[in-house]
Chains A and B, each alone.
Chain A
Amino acid sequence: MKKREFWMLVTPSLVVMVGLLAVPLYRTIEWSLQNVNYGDPGTFIGLSNYTTALTDPRFGRAVVFTVGLTLVVTAILLVLGYLLAVAVNRLHRMRPIVLGLLLLAYVIPGLVGATMFSWLFDSNFGGPVNYLIAHVTGQDLLWFTDTWPNRVVLTLNIVWFLLPFAMLVILAGLQSVNPEVLEAAKIDGAGPFRLHWNVIIPSVSGVIGFVILISLMDVLRVFDPLVALSPQAAAIGNESIMFYIYSVAFKDGGQQLGLGSAINVLLIIIIGIMLIPSIRATAREGSR
């Protein structure tokens, strides 16, 4: 490839990456060191925003909640995604239809999906899940104001939204497993559990690592579901870091863009730390 062709092909991507990644990142870091209000030039205040964020108990609660939610959701996505992928992989003529239906959740905008999801649990809007639970147990659960029921609803919604992606990626991995290896394992007497645990899963470890990577990034930045499903997230300890940033920097004319940027930088660091094992595993897989 000629140098000129190389640059012609690379330049559009470079422009997009610089414009949409590098510049905002630079701006975020710059603002995190400033006191910034809308429309005014920022004033340098050193690490004051970081001190404010790190000494705010609300930030601590948001970090604990977000990291906990991320670990739980990622684990569920892996298990359910794998089981679902195995089930779909066994289908033949029905596979496109089932796949299409499963992917519906993924193509519905997050906020719309979360709002519809909230109606399942909201007696004010019918609330069939509430009705069923009340019918069976005689209890009314406060899904939106009690901490743990609300966490269950949030987890279910995020899993519902992200599961199709996890399933699809793992399904692609399953289809690349060498059938001869599977046949050999069966001849050697491997039962279904050993077949999956010792043969198939190691064969698709690369895609599993990829699912973990994407899931961690997605759930650590969770925002949309909380808008519809946790109207008083901060008060019940279910505020995500992104939701906290939004409250600080934008909501009700909050305007603390500097503080919001500092929390954003801290979030990037947290995401980086949590992704290290996953990135290393994926890199190892790639270098094989």
Chain B
Amino acid sequence: MRTSLRTNGALALTAVAALGLAACGAGSKTASSTAAQVTCDVAKPSKPTTVNVLAYNSSAIDPYTNTMVSSCSKNDYTLKHEPIDFPGQVQKTTATLAGASGTYDIVETYGFVIPQYGSQNKLAPLNDLFTKYADSYKLNDISKDMRAAMTYDGKLYALPMQAQMYIMAYRKDVFDQVGLQPPKTFEEMKTAAKTIQEKAGIKYPIALPWLATGDIVTSYDCILGSLGVNLTNFDTKTANFDKPQAKQALDEMIALKPFMDPQVTTFAQPAVQQQMYNGTGAIAIMFSGRMNDLTLEKNSKYAKSFAFAAPPKVAADSAKLYDTLSVDGWSIPNNTAVDKDALFQMIASSVSEEASKASLPAAYPARSGMVSDSSSPYAAAANVSITSAPPAEPYPWTADVSNKITPIIANAVLGKITTDEAVVQMQQAATAAIAAAK
């Protein structure tokens, strides 16, 4: 009887402990221990107020979200954040910004969508609040370039928290074994991949996120950017897929296929991470926010064997790398009923110096000088990458153009249409998207 009671008690305790542990990390990829305790002295509202926060979960974003929720939930303010993945955030952002009132009071946004939502007047301009609180929250320490990435038509629509850029992760043990150096051009990358296939027996050494319904367009845009061409021309409001580089970019993608998993068009970034974890990939290029996971021994027996470098250029004479810079930040929807001044103080708290330090090494904080080459195994690569990425395209039609050309790029890469047909279709689709956004 006593044994039974003891057993039941132990089981109950285990269950409670498990629930407790689950609750601690609920909603976050990283535990809420990544939350810094920061000053968040928002004046008490006239009545108890709930602030709903929309932000996708990743080890780079969670520290900022956790900091805001834990530090600003006081004085009759309750901040709520439910776990969600990135595609879910995209849909909920669209929905919450659509009507006269929305579900969320603070939303995580990124440079890519700022022009679209800014031009549609869906986000609150933050310039005045930025000036008002610049000193108290040391906001001028936030990188000017990243603030520019969150600005459209002279208006700041998001307070930057962190940036992500492409980084190349590679298996140093394999490279050493076959006598290779990290590739600096696509040609070198293909040669390295061929050598790895032949000498190290890794069948599909190159691992890139090429999901046919999403990531593939980012990869195409990075190649095009490295070749010196944007998707569209803002001045003439025309698409650039009639330029020779548009077809060349598709050809470059197709030329990589012999070194990649034949099902690569179903791989988003987690699948690419998995390729590196289990040793079926030797060279991966993806966003910096995914790199910390590679360095954790609990994830892979190769964790200590990964080394990092800036991504290669597409051509030897390219001015820019195969790269993209995405800045994440906090925005305040125009349709929120909560006091915007109070909301701004909450987001300013979450990007404070302490919170930014707590986000290392998973994130690349927006505050200048936070990341030195020794901050993480991939910090040096990130510092090179961030200065050599192709310029952003902050135009209201960029998101729509990307959506429209994604299936066409996929069809070209899958060999369902020729690259000549693809560029014609892309030019037509993009022209229509630009016309709709004018």
Contact = CB atoms under 8 A, between A and B. Distances in A.
A95 B399 CA distance: 56
B253 to A, nearest CB: 15
A232 B212 contact: yes
A124 B279 CA distance: 10
B266 A231 contact: yes
Interface string B205-234: 000000111100000000000000000000
B99 interface: yes
Given A39-B99, A232-B410, A252-B403, A144 B94 contact: no
B262 interface: yes
A254 interface: yes
Nearest to B216: A232
Nearest to A250: B91
B213 A232 contact: yes
* Interface size of A as a range: 20 to 34
A232 B99 contact: no
Contact of B411 (A37, A39, A235): A235
A124 B213 contact: no
A224 to B, nearest CB: 15
Interface stretch (B168-176, B270-278, B366-374, B421-429): B270-278
A162 to B, nearest CB: 24
Given A231-B213, A253-B91, A38 B262 contact: no
Given A231-B211, A235-B212, A252-B90, A142 B95 contact: no
Given A124-B275, A250-B91, A232 B262 contact: no
Given A39-B99, A235-B407, A255-B94, A123 B414 contact: no
B412 to A, nearest CB: 11
A7 interface: no
Contacts of A282: none
A267 B416 CA distance: 28
Nearest to B211: A231
Interface in B66-101: 87, 90-91, 94-95, 97-100
Contacts of B274: 124-125
User: Chain A binding site: helix, strand, loop or mixed by DSSP?
Assistant: loop
B164 interface: no
A38 B94 contact: yes
A39 B93 CA distance: 12
A145 B99 contact: no
A138 to B, nearest CB: 14
Contacts of A140: 262
Given A231-B212, A253-B403, A254-B403, A142 B262 contact: yes
A145 B213 CA distance: 13
Interface string B95-124: 101111000000000000000000000000
Given A142-B262, A235-B411, A254-B403, A38 B95 contact: yes
A102 interface: no
B59 interface: no
Given A142-B262, A232-B213, A124 B94 contact: no
B212 A124 contact: no
Given A252-B90, A253-B403, A124 B280 contact: yes
- 8 A-B pairs closest in CB distance: A39-B98, A38-B98, A232-B212, A231-B266, A39-B99, A144-B266, A253-B94, A145-B263
Interface of B: 87, 90-91, 94-95, 97-100, 211-214, 261-263, 265-268, 271, 274-275, 278, 280, 399, 403, 406-407, 410-411, 414, 416
24 contacts: A38-B95, A38-B97, A38-B98, A39-B99, A39-B100, A124-B271, A124-B280, A125-B274, A142-B262, A143-B263, A145-B265, A231-B268, A232-B211, A232-B265, A232-B410, A232-B414, A234-B407, A235-B410, A235-B414, A235-B416, A251-B91, A252-B213, A252-B403, A253-B403
